[in-house]
Structure 1
Amino acid sequence: MTQAELDAMYQVPNVEWWTYDGYKAWLDNEKIELKKLIGEKSWTSGDGWFTWTQKRVDDAIIGYEGILANIKEGYKVSETMDGHNDFMMIYNPGEISKATSYSLDIHWITVKLLPLVHMIPRKSF
């Protein structure tokens, strides 16, 4: 198989990566928006229908703060892939050269961003 054939079969996506400052600015705004959801109903594939509570908001913020910490530590976190922001890719470039095999786990959470519901993947911490 030629390199051109391999490239055609496994196209590399066009990825825009979050910067620390960019993700922090998004998170600062998201904290405000999440608090507005308390008492609202939402749905995830893992939990089904639920009502947003302060605890659920706090847990979401903790997860997002974990991603911000990953970015600060040098992890690459995708903002968009091929212009889409419906899932997130996270990896540590420092571990790539050490790895002998790779796997990808995708975990989904649903975040209701008024007035739309978006699916956002979540990295397990």
Structure 2
Amino acid sequence: MDTEELEKLPSKEGEIEKGKAHIIVELIEYEHNSVLSKSILKKATGSVNALSFANGEGLNEKISPFDTYAQIIDGSAIIVIDGKDTTLQTGQGILIPAHQSSHIKPNGRFKIILTVIKSGYE
């Protein structure tokens, strides 16, 4: 799946309530044969999104002009950065550098938080 397609995925309306505690893994549920996305925060300077992936679903290879921090909040996934595989388990994260090819391969179903930091000076 292309990251551009994420904008078209089913999502719950609105961002999470500010100033209120929440359980991160409960922000988004799994749906059979689907990828779901929920915006936690979206600003001109970056975004934070929660995604859930059914078995066999992942993200296609891309090169982002911005740094992206990926954190697994449930399950396990394989993050590939410039051809190097790194398997992440629940609670683990990795920084995907700007201008490097990356994609996310499934390792069963999983949930992930993607934080994109935008900068016009890179």
State the TM-score, normalizing by the size of structure 1: 0.28
More strand by share: 2
Larger radius of gyration: 1
